[in-house]
Amino acid sequence: MSAESSNLSNIEHRAVIKYFVKKGKTPKEIFEDIVSVLQESAPSYTMVKKMGSLISTRTREREDDPRPGRPVTVVTEENVRKIEKLVLADRRIKLWQIAEELQISKERVGEIIHEQ
């Protein structure tokens, strides 16, 4: 590897460290792996440890926090039946009318109509 191609930016270092953190590697293992490839242009062990810790913490926070809003799954058997009933009652009904009636997005209504 040439010296030019082994010089990574901080963003690229962070991406590599994030990859290894997600694979479950320790900061020591990450550092040793990066040094074996980048040699002198590798970030310091302290930097790898800090970035790894920050990435790990942020990942856990995002995974653990409840997300606001409706549940992602609105394509349910119940909604499929309700949409079918509405469409059979009025074949000229608009997507927005169904969405408003069921309190779900027009995109989900369209998905249910076309895929279910």
Q: What is the pLDDT of residues 58-104, one digit of tens each?
A: 766 565 556 666 556 778 889 999 999 999 999 999 999 999 999 88
**Cα 46 from Cα 53, distance rounded (Å):** 11
Residue 39 domain-assigned (yes or no): yes
Q: What is the pLDDT of residue 2?
A: 44
Q: Show which of 21, 37, 64 is a domain's final residue.
A: 64
Considering the domain boundaries, does residue 40 fall inside one?
Answer: yes
**Domain tally, the chain:** 2
Q: What was the pLDDT predicted at 62?
A: 60
How deeply is 47 buried, as exposed, middle or buried, from its count of CB atoms within 10 A (0-12, 13-18, 19+)? middle
Task: In whole angstroms, give the CA distance from residue 88 to residue 39.
Answer: 68
The predicted pLDDT at position 3 comes to 43
Q: Same domain for 59 and 101?
A: no
Inside any domain, residue 55: yes
Q: Which domain holds residue 108?
A: 77-115
Sequential DSSP letters for 37-54: HHGGGSPPHHHHHHHHHH
- Please indicate, yes or no, if residue 71 is contained in any of the structural domains: no
Shared-domain flag, residues 38 and 88: no
Instruction: Kindly tell me if the per-residue pLDDT of 109 is higher than 50.
Output: yes
pLDDT tens for each residue of 4-58:
445 778 888 888 898 999 889 999 999 999 999 988 888 999 999 998 888 877 7
* Same domain? 7 vs 56: yes
How many residues are present in the chain? 116
Tell me if 91 is assigned to some domain: yes
Q: Do the domain assignments include residue 70?
A: no
60 and 81 belong to one structural domain: no
Domain identity same for 59 and 12: yes
Query: Is the same domain home to 8 and 57?
Result: yes
- Output the pTM of the full model: 0.46
Tokens 């270092």, residue?
A: 13
Dihedral angle of Cα 91, 81, 107, 74, to the nearest 10 degrees: 170
